[in-house]
Amino acid sequence: MTAALVPVGLVVLLAVLAMCALAAWNLRLFRVAPPPLADPPSLSILMPARNEVDQIEGAVRAACADLPPGREVVVLDDGSTDGTGAVLARLARKLPGLRVVTGAPLPPGWAGKAWACWQLASEHARGEWLLFVDCDVRLARHAPARLLAAARAESVAFASAFPRQHVLTVGEALLVPLVHLVLLAYLPMALLRRVPRASLSAGCGQLMLARREVYLAADGHRAIRATLHDGIQLARRMKAAGHAIAVLDGRDLATCRMYVGLSGAWRGFARNAYEALGSPAALAVMCLLNAGLFIAPWLGLGAALATTGWSEAAAVWALAVAAVVALRARLARRFGAPLWTALATPVAVTLMIALQIHSYFTHCTGRPVVWRARAYPGAAPVRKGRA
Q: Are 176 and 165 in contact (CB under 8 A)?
A: yes
Short-list 101, 107, 153, CA closest to 126: 101
Same domain, 114 and 84: yes
**Which residues have CB under 8 Å from 36's CB, separation 6+?**
142, 145, 146, 148, 149
Same domain, 203 and 289: no
Residue 193's CATH number = 3.90.550.10
Query: What pLDDT does 9 receive?
Result: 93
From 207, 232, 259, the end of a domain falls on 259
Query: What pLDDT does 383 receive?
Result: 37
- Note whether residue 328 is domain-resident: yes
C-alpha–C-alpha distance, residues 22 and 145, integer Å: 30
Same domain, 13 and 48: no
Same domain, 44 and 160: yes
- Note whether residue 367 is domain-resident: yes
Short-list 24, 21, 17, 20, CA closest to 334: 24
Same domain, 236 and 299: no
Pairing of strands 43-49, 129-133: parallel
Same domain, 193 and 209: yes
- Note whether residue 100 is domain-resident: yes
Q: Hey, what's the torsion of the CAs at 208, 209, 211, 216, to 10 degrees?
A: 20
Spell out a b/e string for 77-103, using b for 16 or more CB atoms within 10 Å of the CB, else e: bbbbeeebbebbeebeeebebbbbeeb
Beta bridge partners, 255, equal 138, 164
From 207, 224, 259, the end of a domain falls on 259
C-alpha–C-alpha distance, residues 53 and 154, integer Å: 36
Short-list 171, 176, 165, CA closest to 136: 165
Q: Are 232 and 202 in contact (CB under 8 A)?
A: yes
Same domain, 154 and 211: yes
DSSP 55: T
Same domain, 85 and 171: yes
Short-list 186, 177, 168, 187, CA closest to 345: 177
C-alpha–C-alpha distance, residues 42 and 299, integer Å: 55
Q: Are 62 and 105 in contact (CB under 8 A)?
A: no
Q: Are 22 and 188 in contact (CB under 8 A)?
A: yes
Same domain, 229 and 322: no
| Residue 352 phi, psi dihedral angles, 5° rounding | -65, -45
Beta bridge partners, 44, equal 72, 130
**Domain range spanning residue 153?**
34-259
- Note whether residue 269 is domain-resident: no
Q: What does each of the 387 residues of the chain score in pLDDT, given as a tens digit?
A: 677 889 999 999 999 999 999 999 999 999 999 999 888 899 999 999 999 999 999 999 999 997 888 899 999 999 999 899 999 999 999 998 999 999 999 999 999 999 999 999 999 999 999 999 999 999 999 999 999 999 999 999 999 999 999 999 999 999 999 999 999 999 999 998 888 888 889 999 999 999 999 999 999 999 999 998 899 999 999 999 999 999 999 999 999 999 999 999 999 998 888 888 878 899 999 999 999 999 999 999 999 999 988 999 999 999 999 999 999 999 999 999 999 999 999 999 999 999 999 998 888 877 777 777 777 765 433 333 333
- Note whether residue 387 is domain-resident: no
Same domain, 344 and 222: no
- Note whether residue 264 is domain-resident: no
Q: Are 37 and 145 in contact (CB under 8 A)?
A: yes
Same domain, 301 and 249: no
Query: What pLDDT does 339 receive?
Result: 97
Query: What pLDDT does 271 receive?
Result: 87
What is the sign, positive or negative, of the torsion defined by CA atoms of 345, 347, 353, 358? negative
Structural domain tally of the chain? 2
Query: What pLDDT does 368 receive?
Result: 79
- CB atoms near residue 323 (< 10 Å): 18
Query: What pLDDT does 297 receive?
Result: 97
- Note whether residue 272 is domain-resident: no
From 259, 287, 312, the end of a domain falls on 259
Same domain, 313 and 213: no
C-alpha–C-alpha distance, residues 162 and 166, integer Å: 12
Query: What pLDDT does 377 receive?
Result: 66
Instruction: Name the pTM for this structure.
Output: 0.92
